[in-house]
Amino acid sequence: MSLLLLSGDVEMNPGPHTRQSKITEKTFQKDSTQSSNSPTETTHEIIDPERDYNLADVMAELRNVKVELSKQIQESVDNVNARIEELVRDSTLMKEKLDAESEKLTELVSENKYLRDQLHKLEREREFQKSHLLRDNLIIRGLEQDKDETWDETALKVRNIITEKLNLDGSGIHFEMVHRVTSSRQMPQLVVAKFSFHKQRDEVFRRAKALKEDILPCEFSEDFTPRVREARRKLGPHLVEARKQNKEAYIVYDKLKMGEKTFVYDASKKQVIELKKRQQ
């Protein structure tokens, strides 16, 4: 009934179509069931002009929010781009440094290879010089030794062996030096005989090799550098094994010849390896 009084003539006054009227109407309906004296007061409280937003205000507020969000997003994008540019600069600088270090490393590797090659060359030259100095020597093992024996006495014993056992004129053999290896603890100590003429040395060695061990009281062998002696020592068991199998085999300097194959001792690998034909 109260609603009808408020609305008036329905045909002539359909009533306002505003948000305030709806709120007032609903509020009045709610409060009319509670008290007939309170509708005016409740309506006055709900109708707040500050809360009456129209579409234009909403759109304006949304635009402001959009602008603010756009600014924030742009700032974030700018910060990210700045950071990316900084990382790119750092990466470029790091790459330049790495390239420079890589170039230095390449130079060092090249220089190291050159120095290593030069060192190997010097070692080969030194080995050749030592071998050349030793080529006129013979090592004599098992030659009887007297107490306090002098070098001259040792040389005389060698001459007597050459004369009596090798059927050569020992007096005609010329030595530069004959001496015992006093550092050796093995008795009798080794004898090193350095010949003045290589041909005489070869002839003595050839005849000594031809004699059997029971005829010659001592053993004659060639003098080699430590590297060659080590190689021959490692090749020796392979030589013995090959001869047990009736294979033609012999050692020449630091190589083992076995048929058409050639073997050497590789000190770096610590094993005997076969040489390829192009390396022989």
In the structure, what pLDDT confidence band is assigned to residue 52 with cuts at 50, 70 and 90?
low
Task: Output the pLDDT for position 3.
Answer: 43
Write down the domain spans for the chain: 2-51, 53-134, 136-223, 225-280
Instruction: Summarize pLDDT for 216-243 with one digit per residue, the tens.
Output: 889 999 999 999 999 999 999 999 999 9
Rounded distance, CA 9 to CA 192, Å?
A: 149
**Global model pTM greater than 0.75:** no
Domain 136-223 coded CATH 3.30.565.10: no
11 vs 143, more confident: 143
The answer to whether 262 touches 255, Cβ cutoff 8 Å, is yes
Pairing of strands 175-180, 249-252: unpaired
Rounded distance, CA 220 to CA 137, Å?
A: 10
Task: Give the alpha-carbon dihedral of 73, 78, 79, 81, to 10 degrees.
Answer: 120
Computed over every residue of the chain, the mean pLDDT equals 82
Burial environment of residue 122 by CB neighbours within 10 A (0 to 12, 13 to 18, 19 or more): exposed
Crossing angle for the helix pair 19-32 and 39-46, to the nearest 10 degrees: 150
